[in-house]
Amino acid sequence: MAGNSFGKLFKLITFGESHGKAIGGIIDGCPAGITIDFEAIQNEMNRRKPGQSKIVTQRKEADEVEFYSGIFEGQTTGTPIGFVIHNTNQKSKDYSHIKDVYRPSHADYTYEKKYGRRDYRGGGRSSARETACRVVAGAIAKQMLSELKINAYTSSVGDIFCEKPYQDLDFSKTETNAIRCPDDATAEKMISKVQEIKKQGDTVGGTITCVIQNVPVGLGEPVFDKLHAELGKAMLSINAVKGFEYGSGFCGARMKGSEHNDLFNDDGTTKTNLSGGVQGGISNGMDIYFRVAFKPVATVLQKQDALNSDGDIIEMQGKGRHDPCVVPRAVPIVEAMAALVMADYVLLRRQETKDW
Amino acid sequence: MAGNSFGKLFKLITFGESHGKAIGGIIDGCPAGITIDFEAIQNEMNRRKPGQSKIVTQRKEADEVEFYSGIFEGQTTGTPIGFVIHNTNQKSKDYSHIKDVYRPSHADYTYEKKYGRRDYRGGGRSSARETACRVVAGAIAKQMLSELKINAYTSSVGDIFCEKPYQDLDFSKTETNAIRCPDDATAEKMISKVQEIKKQGDTVGGTITCVIQNVPVGLGEPVFDKLHAELGKAMLSINAVKGFEYGSGFCGARMKGSEHNDLFNDDGTTKTNLSGGVQGGISNGMDIYFRVAFKPVATVLQKQDALNSDGDIIEMQGKGRHDPCVVPRAVPIVEAMAALVMADYVLLRRQETKDW
Amino acid sequence: MAGNSFGKLFKLITFGESHGKAIGGIIDGCPAGITIDFEAIQNEMNRRKPGQSKIVTQRKEADEVEFYSGIFEGQTTGTPIGFVIHNTNQKSKDYSHIKDVYRPSHADYTYEKKYGRRDYRGGGRSSARETACRVVAGAIAKQMLSELKINAYTSSVGDIFCEKPYQDLDFSKTETNAIRCPDDATAEKMISKVQEIKKQGDTVGGTITCVIQNVPVGLGEPVFDKLHAELGKAMLSINAVKGFEYGSGFCGARMKGSEHNDLFNDDGTTKTNLSGGVQGGISNGMDIYFRVAFKPVATVLQKQDALNSDGDIIEMQGKGRHDPCVVPRAVPIVEAMAALVMADYVLLRRQETKDW
Amino acid sequence: MAGNSFGKLFKLITFGESHGKAIGGIIDGCPAGITIDFEAIQNEMNRRKPGQSKIVTQRKEADEVEFYSGIFEGQTTGTPIGFVIHNTNQKSKDYSHIKDVYRPSHADYTYEKKYGRRDYRGGGRSSARETACRVVAGAIAKQMLSELKINAYTSSVGDIFCEKPYQDLDFSKTETNAIRCPDDATAEKMISKVQEIKKQGDTVGGTITCVIQNVPVGLGEPVFDKLHAELGKAMLSINAVKGFEYGSGFCGARMKGSEHNDLFNDDGTTKTNLSGGVQGGISNGMDIYFRVAFKPVATVLQKQDALNSDGDIIEMQGKGRHDPCVVPRAVPIVEAMAALVMADYVLLRRQETKDW
């Protein structure tokens, strides 16, 4: 209820602050009998972790997951999977200089007002470090959903867009460049853009597109728990996300019905897919695709005004190791959250239809 | 779990198909002691109901709410509020001609595949008629949240946009025209657009902007249940919605951090509000604003191909009384869902902070 | 959250006060495709309803259920089942004389202190009239669980006990007498007891035993949601219930391990069943049986002291039509709640094990 | 959903098997600003831990809790409290001899049938080792509920009962003897009984009584989530529990209404308290008291038949370090679960009544 859990049947609950001893989580509801590929989990972690390339933060975190329960002899047992990621790279320096400072467009102010206190070392609970736990759980969800193909990629950085539709992209190329855009030419431009921004001590936003393929018909619940509504919530729960659209999205709002309707083929597939794979909140078997907007990282390495707890405006300057653009590291997070949503709906689907 | 309830502490659960005996719902968790203004509830219903103007469907529904419980001597009692809206205008004609037809971009196909059957009279459960129940509950939530101002309006129809920022609009004018745009000149253009589209037997999409004012600091839960994530889910759960963005939204993804950060005033307010009133998932006391994209209505009064259950592509033509543009009727629904989200977070907030 | 819903996947939410317009509920999560036997539902309602025999209250309520949604052409559709039972026998007399009186061992005082007000006509929301909605939902759950046999019966009234173990009883005889004890000789004694108590203007407690047979192995969840824990909660949520025990129950607490252990047969069944069909919170395929204790009805037709809202002790006398013993009418309620629990766990079980 | 979490607003989720690397949990929803007394937590752990006296198992576990998050500078921060208890005393011996054996009245058989596999080292997830996590969370709940007094004690062992009503006992004496019965004379008899049983290589059941004092009026939710129903579920979720009764309990079922009703004093308290502090599911300010029945431990150090996975009945003998009577170690677990229930209802109560 307090907001630290996600999912109904395949459920993740996480804990941990960026500068505490450890972060971690519990996956409750993962079915028994799934063979766990630990290397695949670590690979996902490595896609998210800091220090992986020149265009992300140079902080170093091992980000090694330790599993404490729920996996026995290499397989899930049906009992909760508890896991922990120790924080190894918290700088022991004194944070007291930012103890009483609310950085602009960070959650310092709102956390303090809400809780009457906060762990002021780094972002505490509001830090994106928490998303490491989502990547662990998402990696397990992916292994449970081996039929599904979930591919996210960077579709824009600032005003540089990947103009090709996803159908023309080769997702196997996403991991071949630091920005995670499967179109080489665009990737290069994006990387230059980030480097330029970084030199300015500034940051830049971007978008991620995610495509889910091989989806069976019938996933999703009616009315409030529509499949795309839950995907939307999942994405909007990621740090720095400002928007979500699926299928035709905001462009669809400019169209006419005669243009927008997806006409059927006789096998139930559709000739077009402006619907984005979902009708009435339920998957129709076509590709699900959606786009997620990320704002620029709030910590800029330039002088800025901030507020302190005495109500004074003070000048501060971000320093240290920060991401000039969060998007490439957010690609595995988007995939992880998509996997968590799909895992939940698959389990919900199972109980609707089968005899026991 | 099956998707027909919304909210955690202020909870709405709805039932009913468009052509059954009645639709209705239960509000569980509404605090005791709220004086109910029944006329205000009916006013909200009238804003949503069909037949209210020339640019919406000419179907007639009384849409009168009957309350069965939870209100005693004009005040809520703390017990569940059960209510029913009888369906009075289901045409008794034979629906058997569409019984076996899946209309394009409707939920006919997905419901049938999911459940193995469907109530084929109108949209059944997938009909937007269900949203009438949301408006009832939202009206009560608004009465509980009398300090908050929640105003939605039509911000675009097709390619006609209301260019003024919401700060320059007078929300008291929203109800003075049929399209629910508070800018008169734009409203006229939008109405002409809808009339033109209607003559073509076609439909058109649009967007709604919603602004929530007088929000206290501290609403919203961290990590997965961020305030904007739940608002996003709420909006995406409304029929025909394809996208959601708040604050700077998709535009924010094109910006630099130095431009995007909202600098503080010394009272904790911010000079700009690209954040849209939420930092780290928690309200910061600034206006919350967001934009919702609606696709064009799928039922067009033109010939279209459809699929039948034998796997044949057949030609069909929508007929009867349909909305050429769903947006004006969706304005009160957006407000209702916003009110439900806020009511829930207000109750969550109460238990965090006060001594009993 | 506010306590008016039960179940996770097969979910019932109810509304209504004893003297409001109607009571009712929504069943959300009932699978599609279950053929509904409306007569069987009404039969269950008749087992619970007042006025059915000389040893229960002589109040008359038609207790006819009206279904508004979720059932189409005689089968469930997978969408929420909304239903209403109109209150037809609220006496229009003035209740103002008990408006400010808290009856002893009723919920008048606690409801008023909790909510700051109450519907003082009858018991309002705390009235056992609410259980009629549980019987509706339980009847549908039973139809979903047609393989299971759920049989409850009156096992004691005051100090008259049915001494035979359930294995020696013929459940088909439960409905042949007014007290619902399948052992004729005991039933007669129980009925005499109730009649004697009734003449005294008094009331008496009793117990109900419930047996669930043909249970597959594997229902129930570990740790907190053990099958018997949820059964216990379900029973303790029924008005007037003071205790719950399953299998060996409180007697088991006096035994030695060497006596209490249920030794296996080679097919996995056990020679004895002191475990009551559940091991570690999970069904083992043996009969589940439990016993529920009901206190005597609080309304006695004798003079008693009560408290009024001014803090005065006043003398009052219950009058009208009340049950001298609630147990016979509670038998179908116990079965209904057992069916709801089992339906929920069956759906939970389905999603654990099957490929989709 | 999968059964490993408890509570709605003050929520505990646990993980871990008896012979895995660690057990642990997350407390989500603990309010900010509670000063944590770590020594008090460890004291509760010590009351539960093995090896504490001659009448409990001689296994040794340090049972030291490590907190990873949610506590900063000695106070709760409002964010989730993650904690871990490392398993230090798993014997590295080969468990393969019981790998394929289902011990009678253990959960071996049901877990294996449910999940298709199990962690066969010790009881795995079904081991009462899991309750250590409940004690951690309960200790924190107690610190949040400092006004409430929650005292449990051993009220019977086998057929030796503490005859004194709880009002005549001095709870400060509970911890002065190994059996945790505050009546010295009875405690001695109970201890002798356990020693005698232990010599026989047998085990014995017992009951625990729990009393909650200083409870404000108004805790508890109507209908399904009655305060005593949730307490019942909480207790029935503890390993080895077979029954729960509160107030007059099963005895109440033998009484007459004129005897059973609790007459009011003019301050709203009652002269008697057969109701057990709860009316209509809501606390009335009187003491809440209830009794919990524990079966004898299933592992006896005598020869017994067991079943193996080939369907053979084989002879086996429990060996090693087991509790002859679980009751004294269960006393802190009962208190912990009571504290968790009360914490949840206090938070639910807060949001019902206060302006924000």
Per-residue burial over D210-241, b if 16 or more Cβ lie within 10 Å, else e, is: bbbbebebbbbbbbbbbbbbbbbbbbbbbbbb
Q: What is the pLDDT of residue D16?
A: 96
d(Cα A22, Cα D86) in Å, to the nearest integer?
15
d(Cα D15, Cα D24) in Å, to the nearest integer?
5
Cα torsion angle, A328, A330, A333, A339, sign: negative
In chain B, DSSP finds a helix count (H) and a strand count (E) of 9, 17
Q: What is the pLDDT of residue B90?
A: 64
| Token code pair at residue B302 | 């033109």
**Interface subset of A 125-154, CB within 8 angstroms of B:** 125-126, 130
Dump the DSSP string for D118-169: ---STTGGGSGGGHHHHHHHHHHHHHHTTT-EEEEEEEEETTEE--S-GGG-
Q: What is the pLDDT of residue D117?
A: 87
d(Cα A249, Cα C212) in Å, to the nearest integer?
51
Best C81, C345, C351, C355 member to test A by mutation, with max A CBs in 10 Å, is C351
Chains that contact D by 3+ CB pairs under 8 Å?
Answer: A, B, C
Contact C228 D249 (CB under 8 A): no
| Token code pair at residue B180 | 């629910």
Segment D68-84, tens digit of pLDDT? 999 999 999 999 999 99
pLDDT surpassing 90 at residue A123? no
Closest-CA residue of B relative to C8 is B1
Reported as a pLDDT band with limits 50, 70 and 90, residue C61 is confident
Asked if residue B172 lies in contact with residue B161, where contact means CB atoms within 8 angstroms, the answer is no
d(Cα A326, Cα A157) in Å, to the nearest integer?
10
Segment D39-78, tens digit of pLDDT? 999 999 999 998 898 888 888 888 899 999 999 999 999 9
Q: Is C311 on the interface with A (CB under 8 A)?
A: no
A135 closest CA partner among A4, A44, A209, A43:
A44
Segment C244-269, tens digit of pLDDT? 999 999 999 999 999 999 999 999 99
Best C101, C223, C266, C301 member to test D by mutation, with max D CBs in 10 Å, is C223
d(Cα B163, Cα B161) in Å, to the nearest integer?
6
Per-residue burial over C157-186, b if 16 or more Cβ lie within 10 Å, else e, is: bbebbbeeebeebeeeebeebbbbbbbeeb
- Report the DSSP beta bridge partners of residue A308: A101
Does this model's pTM top 0.95? My answer is yes
Q: What is the pLDDT of residue A93?
A: 64
Closest-CA residue of D relative to A28 is D2
Q: What is the pLDDT of residue A302?
A: 92
Reported as a pLDDT band with limits 50, 70 and 90, residue A61 is confident
Cβ neighbors of D334 (< 8 A, separation 6 or more) are: D152, D208, D210, D235, D238, D292
d(Cα D204, Cα D194) in Å, to the nearest integer?
7
**Interface subset of C 52-81, CB within 8 angstroms of A:** 78-79
Segment C173-231, tens digit of pLDDT? 999 999 999 999 999 999 999 999 999 999 999 999 999 999 999 999 989 999 999 99
C212 closest CA partner among C233, C227, C190:
C227
Tell me the shortest Cα–Cα distance from C327 to chain D, in angstroms. Answer: 10
Asked if residue C69 lies in contact with residue C82, where contact means CB atoms within 8 angstroms, the answer is yes
Q: Is D221 on the interface with C (CB under 8 A)?
A: yes
Q: What is the pLDDT of residue D7?
A: 97
Q: Is D214 on the interface with B (CB under 8 A)?
A: no
Q: Contacts of residue D114 in chain A, CB cutoff 8 Å?
A: 78
What does the DSSP 8-state code read for residue C150? E
d(Cα A102, Cα A98) in Å, to the nearest integer?
8
d(Cα B150, Cα C76) in Å, to the nearest integer?
38
φ/ψ bin of C121: left (φ > 0), alpha (ψ from -120 to 50), beta (otherwise): beta
| Token code pair at residue B131 | 């949203």
pLDDT surpassing 70 at residue A354? no
Q: What is the pLDDT of residue D306?
A: 94
Segment C9-31, tens digit of pLDDT? 999 999 999 989 999 999 999 99
Contact D33 A115 (CB under 8 A): yes
Report which of residues A99 and B173 the model is more confident about. Answer: B173
Cβ neighbors of A152 (< 8 A, separation 6 or more) are: A174, A180, A208, A209, A210, A211, A331, A332, A334, A335, A338
Best D10, D11, D28, D69 member to test A by mutation, with max A CBs in 10 Å, is D69
Q: What is the pLDDT of residue B56?
A: 87
Residue C65 backbone dihedrals phi, psi, to 5 degrees: -90, 135
DSSP E strands in B214-299: the ranges are: 241-246, 278-279, 282-283, 288-294
Count, residues in chain D: 356
What average pLDDT does the segment A42-68 reach?
A: 90
If one counts every other C-beta atom within 10 angstroms of the C-beta of residue A337, the result is: 33
Contact D117 A72 (CB under 8 A): yes
What average pLDDT does the segment A23-40 reach?
A: 97
Asked if residue D208 lies in contact with residue D181, where contact means CB atoms within 8 angstroms, the answer is no
Helix (H) / strand (E) containing D22: strand D22-28
CA distances from residue D190 to D156, D164, D179 in whole angstroms, order as listed = 8, 15, 7
Instruction: Give, to the nearest 10 degrees, the angle between helix C131-144 and helix C38-48.
Output: 140
Q: Contacts of residue B18 in chain C, CB cutoff 8 Å?
A: none
SS percent in chain C: helix, strand, coil, step 5: 35, 25, 45
SS3 D209: strand
Give the CA-trace dihedral at A168, A172, A178, A181, to 10 degrees: 20
Per-residue burial over A183-195, b if 16 or more Cβ lie within 10 Å, else e, is: beebbebbbebbe
A14 closest CA partner among D28, B50, C6, B297:
D28
SS3 string of chain A?
CCCCEECCCCEEEEECCCCCCEEEEEEECCCCCCECCHHHHHHHHHHHCCCCCCCCCCCCCCCCEEECCCEECCEECCCCEEEEEECCCCCCCCCHHHCCEECCCCCHHHHHHHHCCCCCCCCHHHCHHHHHHHHHHHHHHHHHCCCCEEEEEEEEECCEECCCCHHHCCHHHHHHCCCCCCCHHHHHHHHHHHHHHHHCCCCECEEEEEEEECCCCCCCCCHHHCHHHHHHHHHHCCCCEEEEEECCHHHHCCCEHHHHCCCECCCCCECCCCCCCEECCEECCCCEEEEEEECCCCCCCCEEEEEECCCCEEEEECCCCCCCCCHHHHHHHHHHHHHHHHHHHHHHHHHHHCCC
What does the DSSP 8-state code read for residue B6? E
D299 closest CA partner among D107, D118, D115:
D107
- AA letter at B217: V
- Report the DSSP beta bridge partners of residue A62: none
pLDDT surpassing 80 at residue D319? no
Report which of residues D88 and D46 the model is more confident about. Answer: D46
C232 closest CA partner among C223, C240, C242:
C242
Set out the domains of chain D in order of their start, with CATH numbers. 5-353 (3.60.150.10)
What does the DSSP 8-state code read for residue B175? G
Instruction: Give, to the nearest 10 degrees, the angle between helix C227-236 and helix C327-353.
Output: 150
